[in-house]
Amino acid sequence: MAERKYFINRFPICAAFYYCVAKRLGYTESESKSLGLTRAIFFAAAKFGYIGGGKSGEKKKKKVPALKKGFTIDQLPFAGLPTYIVHEKGDKSFFGIMGDDVIKPEQYDDQVIHKFDYKQAGAYDLFIKEVEKFLKDKTDDELNSAISYDLYTEIRDKFREMGFYNALSSATDTSDK
């Protein structure tokens, strides 16, 4: 079997995919970045056994993060799973939370956009454009359900392949850095 050549790992692909889902569902840019990154962190934590008992099946106690006064923790249904969010009292905008960490949009920029564009300028924008095209015919009900994970797994490896990014003609490949 031929060895696959991946341009980028699954983590930024997952975060950017769920960013697109959040945008389609009407969340703000900041909220979408936070939700996308929160979902990717959740899946990575689950994969490595930090959530849901992992491979041993042991349940771990849920821990509610300690937050500054004036902040409220809520839960919203996002892409088929309950997602914990935090916001200042009286403010509608929010950020996702994982454990004790509030997930800010700047973290998305560093951990997602930078990873795509470090490899090749314009890679992030190409990915977003293609995911938006892929999601175009999906309903909001599909996107805000467990079906969104099936959609993610359907396209994730295609968007990881080196060949997908070869369409970027104006940029210089820096994948050897």
Residues 4-19 pLDDT 10s: 577 888 999 999 999 9
pLDDT of residue 144: 97
Q: Using alpha carbons, list the distances in angstroms from residue 52 to 47, 55, 58, 85.
A: 10, 9, 8, 19
Q: Using alpha carbons, list the distances in angstroms from residue 143 to 5, 21, 56, 96, 118.
A: 29, 6, 31, 18, 29
Segment 46-91, tens digit of pLDDT? 887 776 554 544 544 455 555 666 778 889 999 999 999 998 777 8
Q: Distance from CA of residue 124 to its chain's centroid?
A: 13
Residue 173 has pLDDT above 60, yes or no: no
Name, of 18-27, 84-93, 149-158, 162-171, the range with top average pLDDT: 18-27
Residue 113 has pLDDT above 90, yes or no: yes
pLDDT of residue 96: 93
Q: Which residues pair with 101 in a beta bridge?
A: 98
Residue 143 has pLDDT above 70, yes or no: yes
Q: Does residue 36 contact residue 112 with C-beta atoms inside 8 Å?
A: yes
In angstroms, the CA 61 to CA 173 distance is 45
In angstroms, the CA 90 to CA 133 distance is 36
Residue 20 or 1, more confident:
20
pLDDT of residue 33: 97
Q: Using alpha carbons, list the distances in angstroms from residue 74 to 62, 70, 93.
A: 15, 13, 12
User: Which sign does the torsion angle of CA 6, 163, 36, 39 carry?
Assistant: negative
Single-letter amino acid, residue 173: D
Residue 141 has pLDDT above 90, yes or no: yes
In angstroms, the CA 23 to CA 4 distance is 31
Sheet-wide strand order for 95-98: 71-78, 81-88, 95-98, 101-103
The residue among 172, 153, 174 whose CA lies nearest residue 13 is 153
- Running DSSP on this structure, what letter comes out for residue 99? T
Count, residues in the chain: 177
Least confident span in 34-38, 104-108, 167-171: 167-171
* Token pair of 123 as six digits: 């890679």
pLDDT of residue 51: 66
